[in-house]
A = this chain, B = another copy of it.
């Protein structure tokens, strides 16, 4: 499997509150998990999304999508793979793959597309420092 680098992995334990009556991770919770994944992606490169915002750049989600393949259950430790798959002039796209603990079973795939806007919400070109940071290998 070829997966464009750089990538970041996040481990996450499924809590009771994230499950539903069917006994599985509720479908909206995957988007929470994706958000944790991209925050970790940024943090792995030495910055936090909070700092990105302080620098006047916000990355609101324009579109989100998830394909559910196999359910996750309470207490499962799941593994999320995060990367950036597309750069627009004023946008970028994250892709996600959710795996079981041993990374041998694919549970879900998804994407989020983000606009790049300034503090007043106007679209702006992706700053060079952000693109450089997000395309760098994680130091760790």
- List A28-86 residues whose CB lies under 8 Å from chain B: 28-29, 31-32, 35-36, 39, 48-50, 58, 60-68, 71, 73-75
| A132 close to chain B: CB less than 8 A | no
Interface pairs A-B: 5 shortest CB-CB: A28-B31, A65-B65, A19-B21, A50-B75, A17-B32
Q: Taking chain A's interface residues, is the majority helix, strand, or loop, or is none over half, making it mixed?
A: mixed
7 further contact pairs, Cβ within 8 A, besides A17-B20, A17-B28, A60-B71: A15-B32, A16-B20, A17-B32, A21-B23, A22-B60, A39-B75, A64-B66
Q: Check if A89 is an interface residue, CB within 8 A of chain B.
A: no
Whether the Cβ atoms of B15 and A35 lie closer than 8 Å is yes
- With A15-B32, A28-B29, A58-B22 in contact, do A65 and B64 touch (Cβ < 8 Å)? yes
- A16 contacts B49, CB within 8 Å? yes
Q: A27 on the interface (CB 8 Å rule)?
A: yes
- With A28-B28, A65-B63 known as contacts, the answer to whether A20 contacts B20 (CB < 8 A) is yes
Alpha-carbon gap, A133 to B101, bound state (A): 25
- Measured in the bound complex, the distance between the Cα atoms of B104 and A50 in whole Å is 22
With a cutoff of 8 Å between Cβ atoms, the chain B residues found around residue A17 in the complex are 20, 26, 28, 31-32, 35
A20: B residues at CB distance < 8 A: 16-17, 19-21
